[in-house]
């Protein structure tokens, strides 16, 4: 019997050049999540305070949010060439302002800042008040 050799194709992946992106910042009380997408909504990079090495209560600090944003923006700028972004902020956390300042200091132009925090128009009954 003759053995057939398999032909292997060499797969080449090319990085796409994206000049305009969208940054979604989800700032909760415990963490800050950052996702950078292209204009269609395909994720280019993501990061969080936890992914940046912070644990426990330090994840919710503005410094942790700044570090997370710097890591993600650096990756997106180097790999995809993003020059300007639209920023969408969601949530009540402390990382909101810190994330904005970090994006601005990273040298990327901010075209739009939008707050997309969901606000109920008197939907279901609210949970009982937290007592500390």
pLDDT (mean) for 32-36 = 96
What's the pTM?
Answer: 0.81
Percent of the chain with pLDDT over 70: 90
Measure the CA angle with vertex 64, ends 58 and 68; round to 5°: 140
Residue ranges covered by each domain of the chain: 20-115
DSSP annotation of 29 = S
Q: What is the CATH number of domain 20-115?
A: 3.30.420.80
Task: Estimate to the nearest angstrom the gap between the alpha carbon of 7 and the chain centroid.
Answer: 40
Pick the closest to residue 116 from 26, 5, 19 (CA basis): 26
Residue partners of 12: CB distance under 8 A and separation at least 6: none
Q: How many CA atoms lie within 13 A of 15 on its CB side?
A: 13
pLDDT (mean) for 57-83 = 93
Any alpha helices (H) in 6-132, and if so which ranges? 62-80, 95-105
- Per-residue pLDDT tens for 114-123? 999 999 898 8
């Amino acid at each position: 019997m003759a053995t057939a050799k398999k032909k292997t194709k060499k797969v080449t992946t090319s990085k796409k050049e994206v000049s305009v992106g969208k940054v979604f910042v989800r700032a909760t009380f415990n963490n800050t999540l950052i996702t950078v997408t292209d204009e269609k909504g395909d994720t280019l990079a993501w990061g969080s305070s936890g992914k940046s090495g912070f644990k426990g209560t330090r994840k919710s600090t503005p410094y942790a949010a700044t570090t997370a944003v710097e890591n993600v923006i650096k990756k997106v700028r180097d790999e995809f060439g993003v020059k300007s972004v639209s920023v969408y902020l969601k949530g009540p956390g402390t990382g909101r302002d810190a994330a904005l300042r970090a994006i601005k200091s990273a040298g990327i132009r901010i075209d739009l800042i939008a707050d997309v925090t969901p606000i109920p128009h008197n939907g279901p009954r609210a949970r009982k008040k937290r007592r500390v």
